[in-house]
Structure formats: C-alpha cells, structure tokens
C-alpha cells in the first residue's frame, strides 16, 4: 500500500467541541441580547471612517486568526453598522425586520445543510407542505406548483419565465426568440424594477415591457392597457402577459386585479400578480378583499422577508398550472435520474421548478414560524401595520406644512413638506434635506421616492417591532425638524 503523502485526517470541524460549544452559545446569547435591545440604539449609525477602512482593505487572511478574534471583530465592526432595518423605527422602503425564531430556524437549517433540489428526505416534504399552505392562503388551488426563492425579484422573474414559456406560442426553450415577433408584457408604470430586469435578461428587451399609465389613485388604467394591447397586436407584436400589482413599491396601490384578470382572460394572456408585500394581506380575513382577484392569477410572487417578517432571504412564487411550471425549467441529466428507490426517489422537483440545482432548506423558518406562532397571529400584526399607517397619515396631516400625497391603500404613507412660497424644485430639495436630517438625527428611517414627478417621503409600515410610541417619536421629529428648517429658511 502506498502511504499518502499528505495528512488524511484534516477536517474543518472543531478540534475541541466543548470550546466551540462555549463560544457558539455566547454567539446565540449575544445575538438575542442585541435583538432584544434594538430600541435602545439609534435606527441607523453612519459608518465610522476607521471601520470602513478596516473592512475594505484587509489582505486575504491566509493564516488563521482564531474564532475569538474574528467574532470580536464582527461584534465591533460589523454588527452595529447595518442600515437599521430590524429597528422598531425603521420605516424605509419595504424592508424586513426578521424574528428571533426565524434566526434560530435559519441556524438549524444551516446546521442540517440539507440539499433541497429534492431527493427523498423530510426537508423536501416540509418544503412541499409550506408551498401547499402558501397556495391555500393565497387562494390558489391545492395542486398549484411553487418554489421558494431568495426574494421577490427572483420570484417575479421566474414566474414571468413560466408565463413566456406557456403563452408565446412556440418552443422558446429550443428556438429562442430568433425570427419571432416581439413578445410584449403589460403592466403599470408603477411596476417594480424587477420587470425591466426580467425582459432584459430574457433577451426580449426593455421595449417589450409596456408601461401603462396609472389613474389618480395610482392603480393601472385598465382601459389604456386594453387599447395598448390592441395597438401592439395591430403592429405585429405578440402580447403574452398582463402583470398586476398587489401593492406597488411606491405607494402600496393595488391594481383592480379582477379587471386585469378579465382582460387577461379575454385577450388569452397569462395573468401574473406581483404581490411582493401586498399579497400577504391575504393572510388576514379582514384585509383579503383588498387583493381580490389575485386568486384568479396564473401566477403570483410574494416575499416572506418583507411583510411576512421572516429573516432574509425568502420569497415564493406560485403557478396554478403545475405542468407549465415544470416544463419551463425541467432538465434531467443522467447523473440525476430518479431510480424510484434510494436517496434519489421522487427526483428533483425543486430543481425542475427554477434555474438553481443546489438550494438550501428555505422552508424551515416558514414552517416553524407558521406552526409556532399560528398564521392568525402574523395576520394580526399585518392588520396592526395597516392600522398604524392609517393613524400615522391622519396625525401627520395635522402637522403644519405637511401633506399626505397619496391614498393609504395598505401600509405605505407618502407625504411631503410644503414650505410656503417655494418653487417645485425648492420644495423637492427641502424634502430631501428633511429626510436626511430625520435619518441622521437617529429619529427614524423613512425613505424618499418620486411620485408624480415630485420628491416625496415614504413611511412603510411593515415592521412588527413598531409600536405606536415609535410613530409618536417620528411625528415629533417631523414637526421639530420641519419647524427648524422653516425658520432657517426665513432667517
């Protein structure tokens, strides 16, 4: 027997499990300590230059530094300097807050390191069960197909790939788009940026994304969409899909999903709903009517890391026609053939539903959270966020020189300050400065956007940690800082 010329007993498991266990327990304790005391700190702290420098200039660490030292550096330089999205006064964009249970579930999933292409194992069944629950909650048939993915962008993009495969009228997988009419997709001008990325990625081009104007309520103008579809058909294009928004990213507006479902049916187009956060309203019986028509979609995409409150990354898309979903992505190489027995029995259903082969155990945090908390409790928090948005908008509108500029369709409040005798561009600059001061003073983190060509400030209520006192703090901060800026202006 030749002797191996190298050591053959190297492993990355700890040499001393007891020592490792001690620091691991400390990590869990510290993480929970930090999470349970968030409200004692500012939502966001600007990065100190020394930290920025240290984190961006380190050479490749070829030699070991040891767990203790790395963990200490994490605690000092990384942990304190996030954008603040877990904090109770974080209202920027629509970000997620995460939960302690979700954190632990992710840790358990990482520890299992299960391979979720499929295979005959319990985690696959958990993943299947979660997709079936989500289908039921969204009003989709029990036998719908679905996939858990990293985020809403990915979920929407993959759903649109299914839409194209199912409705383009030729074998796009085999032949691509060569010598074919332009395929077109119809949606609101308020659509999220994923849609442009999708049509560009698919080789259809940005011009294939037909952005239809919105009405005053920021919902898509369905008549204008119908007219655009007819004009495009007459010009030789091939419409394939209508996309509705259940909660636009800017204002939370919910398109008339029933009208879009009717239009898609009469035009024989795929109907997809981007419900990134808004679809979660369906968890609440009281709010479900607001997303009526979503259950008629061919596909729907939504995040669980936004209004489902779970830690990043987790989203889902559902497809009513399971075969359309499978046939968009399925490829079975010989080394992955289902033998009907053994580990590979049942094949690789999740690999057949998207472009990724190796996937982690995404479902565990959904499964544990839904079971431990009950979906009704999550729905209660969602309802609380909607009530907070309504009450906040009401109070905000009573602050002098502040106006609410869009209907509060769900959980987003769009507003701005209107300084007296200011031009549009002066007012825009005023609001940008107001937003930055609110953030930099550590009051809260709202975000900015454009609505109807004007700069606006947004407060998104998708935070399970926000109590009414947090909104009071923000209201007081808005009043105080607006007042200060107005007096600076008149000085």
Ligand X SMILES: *Cc1c(COP(=O)(O)O)cnc(C)c1O
Q: Which residues would be at the binding site for ligand X (CB under 6 A)?
A: 94, 151-153, 156, 192, 194, 247-249, 274, 276-277, 303, 315
Q: Indicate the residue among 152 and 311 with the shorter CB distance to ligand X.
A: 152
Residue 210 near residue 220, CB atoms below 8 Å:
no
Nearest distance in Å: CB 244, ligand X: 11
Q: Indicate the residue among 131 and 254 with the shorter CB distance to ligand X.
A: 254
**Residue 74: DSSP 8-state:** I
Q: Indicate the residue among 127 and 303 with the shorter CB distance to ligand X.
A: 303
Token look-up 């036998």 returns 143
Q: DSSP alpha helices (H): ranges in 37-115?
A: 49-56, 67-73, 100-112
Task: List, as one string, the DSSP characters of 188-248.
Answer: ETT--THHHHHHHHTTS-GGGEEEE-B-TTS-B-HHHHHHHHHHHHHTT-EEEEEEEEBS-
Write the CB contacts of 225 (distance below 8 Å, at least 6 apart in sequence): 186, 212, 242, 260, 263
Nearest distance in Å: CB 250, ligand X: 9
Q: Indicate the residue among 168 and 243 with the shorter CB distance to ligand X.
A: 243
Nearest distance in Å: CB 282, ligand X: 15
Q: Indicate the residue among 119 and 276 with the shorter CB distance to ligand X.
A: 276
Q: Indicate the residue among 192 and 353 with the shorter CB distance to ligand X.
A: 192
Nearest distance in Å: CB 138, ligand X: 15
Residue 251 near residue 190, CB atoms below 8 Å:
yes
Write the CB contacts of 98 (distance below 8 Å, at least 6 apart in sequence): 86, 305, 309, 310, 311, 312
Nearest distance in Å: CB 215, ligand X: 18
Nearest distance in Å: CB 278, ligand X: 7
Task: Kindly give the pairing relationship between strand 299-303 and strand 270-274.
Answer: parallel
Q: Please list the residues that pair with 303 across neighbouring strands.
A: 315
Nearest distance in Å: CB 276, ligand X: 3
Give the sign of the dihedral formed by CA 414, CA 419, CA 422, CA 427.
negative
Q: Indicate the residue among 276 and 438 with the shorter CB distance to ligand X.
A: 276
Joined tokens for residue 144: 């719908």
């Amino acid at each position: 027997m030749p002797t191996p010329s190298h050591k053959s007993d190297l492993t990355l498991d700890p040499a001393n499990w007891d020592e490792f266990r001690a620091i691991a327990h400390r990590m869990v304790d510290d993480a929970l300590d930090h999470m349970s005391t968030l409200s004692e700190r500012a939502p966001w702290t600007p990065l100190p230059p020394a930290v920025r420098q240290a984190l961006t200039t380190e050479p490749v660490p070829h030699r070991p530094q040891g767990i203790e030292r790395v963990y200490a550096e994490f605690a000092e330089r990384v942990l304190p300097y996030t954008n603040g999205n877990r904090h109770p006064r974080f209202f920027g964009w629509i970000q997620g807050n995460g939960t302690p249970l979700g954190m632990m579930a992710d840790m358990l999933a990482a520890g299992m390191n299960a391979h979720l292409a499929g295979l005959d194992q319990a985690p696959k069944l958990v993943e299947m069960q979660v997709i079936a629950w989500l289908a039921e909650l969204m009003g989709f048939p029990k036998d719908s197909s679905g996939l858990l993915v990293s985020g809403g962008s990915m979920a929407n993009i993959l759903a649109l790939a299914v839409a194209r495969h199912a409705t383009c009228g030729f074998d796009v997988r085999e032949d691509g788009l060569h010598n074919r009419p332009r395929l077109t997709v119809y949606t609101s001008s308020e659509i999220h940026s994923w849609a442009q990325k999708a049509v560009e990625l698919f080789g259809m081009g940005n011009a294939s994304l037909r952005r239809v104007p919105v009405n005053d309520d920021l919902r898509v103008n369905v008549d204008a969409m119908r007219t655009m579809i007819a004009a495009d058909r007459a010009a030789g294009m091939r419409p394939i899909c209508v996309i509705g928004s259940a909660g636009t990213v800017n204002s939370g507006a919910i398109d008339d999903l029933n009208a879009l479902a009717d239009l898609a049916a009469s035009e024989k187009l795929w109907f997809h709903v981007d419900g990134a956060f808004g679809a979660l309203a369906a968890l609440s019986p009281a709010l479900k009517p607001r997303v009526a028509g979503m259950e008629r979609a061919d596909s729907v995409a939504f995040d669980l890391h936004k209004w489902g409150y779970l830690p990043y990354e987790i989203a889902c898309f559902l497809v009513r026609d399971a075969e359309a979903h499978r046939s968009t992505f399925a490829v079975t190489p010989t080394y992955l053939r289902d033998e009907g027995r053994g580990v590979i029995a049942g094949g690789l259903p999740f690999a057949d539903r998207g472009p990724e082969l190796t996937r982690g155990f995404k479902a565990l945090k959904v499964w544990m959270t839904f079971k431990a908390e009950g979906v009704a409790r999550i729905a209660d928090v969602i309802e609380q966020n909607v009530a907070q948005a309504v009450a906040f908008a009401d109070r905000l509108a009573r602050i002098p020189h502040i106006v609410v500029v869009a209907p509060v369709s769900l959980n987003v409040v769009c507003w701005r300050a209107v300084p007296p005798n200011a031009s549009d561009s002066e007012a825009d600059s005023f609001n940008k400065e107001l937003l930055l001061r609110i953030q930099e003073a550590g009051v809260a983190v709202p975000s900015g956007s454009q609505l109807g060509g004007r700069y606006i400030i947004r407060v998104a209520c998708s935070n399970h940690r926000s109590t009414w006192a947090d909104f009071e703090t923000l209201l007081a901060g808005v009043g105080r800082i607006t007042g200060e800026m107005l007096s600076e202006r008149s000085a």
